[in-house]
Amino acid sequence: MSRATREVDDERRVSLVDLLDRVLAGGVVISGDIKLAIADVDLVQISLRALISSISTLSGPLHAMEAPGDD
């Protein structure tokens, strides 16, 4: 492996903590479908929908959740 290739590989590596931080900061949606059929007859269908995010990302800025004052 050449030196340039090793340098590119080192730059692409992301630690698990950094990856988790990016996912929680922006959020990620996982979706999938599994269907079990015999002779074109659907017997079982499973649908998966999951949203993974931090609460602060979902709730938005803190000042948007505050109740307006009696100004």
CB 53 within 8 A of CB 59: no
Q: Which pLDDT belongs to residue 28?
A: 84
pLDDT of residue 46: 93
| pLDDT for position 35 | 93
Confidence at residue 60, expressed as pLDDT on a 0 to 100 scale: 67
Q: Would you tell me how many other CB atoms lie within 10 Å of the CB of residue 49?
A: 9
Q: Is 53 exposed, middle or buried (0-12, 13-18, 19+ CB in 10 A)?
A: middle
Q: Which residue's entry shows tokens 């998966």? A: 48
Could you list the pLDDT tens digit for every one of the 71 residues in the chain? 566 566 556 666 777 788 788 887 888 888 999 999 999 898 999 999 988 887 777 676 655 555 555 44
The pLDDT, as a whole number, for residue 51 is 84
* 20 closest CA partner among 57, 67, 45, 62: 57
